[in-house]
């Protein structure tokens, strides 16, 4: 590979800067959607306090128990739940895409370690891993079993985020 191609690949600092740029863009988009000078944390305005549509976290939410899963699904309009295990090769392969979806989409991403949270995995019907369940408005609307490409997941999120 040429030196010019190597120069285009993000380094650790460049990746951090890119992540910060994406977070800033999402914050501005959220503020624009909220309008009328409403705070990003939802502390003012007509929807404050209803629990739905909370600001989408830019990093995955690690779920430890059925109550935490229910809270995540109730607090966010669209939630992608990733059932994974640390020892699972396809899960490890999908990790960068899952992190990017959390940072760049309107969906909250919840991660469930199936080894540590067997009751949650059973509730979600995760018999194979990775299993991804997409929730919209508190209801499961889509399920993916096995490794998925990022575009497939982005498309499903966009369909239900509209």
Q: 48, 55, 88, 145: which one is catalytic?
A: 88
Look at residue 58 and tell me whether its pLDDT is greater than 70.
yes
Q: 79, 91, 110, 157: which one is catalytic?
A: 91
**26-35, 46-55, 130-139, range with greatest mean pLDDT:** 130-139
Report the distance separating Cα 162 and Cα 142, nearest Å.
15
* Catalytic residue flag (residue 83): no
The predicted pLDDT at position 57 comes to 86
Tokens of 60: 């995955």
pLDDT band at 38 (very low <50, low <70, confident <90, very high): very low
The CATH homologous superfamily of the domain defined by 61-159: Glutaredoxin (3.40.30.10)
Look at residue 72 and tell me whether its pLDDT is greater than 90.
yes
Continuous segment of H or E residues that includes residue 134: strand 131-136
Q: Where are the domains of the chain?
A: 61-159
The predicted pLDDT at position 61 comes to 92
Q: Which residue has the higher pLDDT, 106 or 17?
A: 106
Look at residue 115 and tell me whether its pLDDT is greater than 80.
yes
User: Measured at the alpha carbon of residue 152, what is the angle toward residues 134 and 74, in degrees to the nearest 5?
Assistant: 15
Percent of the chain with pLDDT over 70: 67
SS3 118: helix
Look at residue 30 and tell me whether its pLDDT is greater than 70.
no
The predicted pLDDT at position 5 comes to 44
Q: Which residue has the higher pLDDT, 57 or 79?
A: 79
């Amino acid at each position: 590979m040429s030196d010019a191609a190597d120069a285009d690949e993000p380094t650790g600092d460049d990746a951090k800067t890119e992540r910060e740029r994406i977070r800033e863009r999402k914050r501005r988009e959220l503020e624009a959607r909220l309008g009328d000078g409403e705070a990003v944390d939802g502390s003012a305005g007509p929807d404050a306090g209803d629990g739905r549509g909370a600001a989408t976290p830019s990093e995955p939410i690690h779920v430890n128990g059925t109550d935490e899963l229910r809270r995540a699904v109730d607090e966010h309009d669209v939630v992608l739940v990733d059932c994974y295990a640390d020892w699972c090769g396809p899960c490890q392969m999908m990790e960068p895409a899952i992190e990017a979806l959390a940072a760049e989409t309107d969906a909250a991403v919840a991660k469930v370690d199936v080894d540590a949270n067997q009751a949650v995995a059973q509730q979600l019907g995760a018999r194979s891993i990775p299993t991804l369940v997409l929730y919209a408005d508190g209801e499961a609307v889509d399920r993916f079993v096995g490794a998925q490409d990022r575009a497939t997941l982005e498309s499903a999120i966009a369909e239900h985020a509209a």
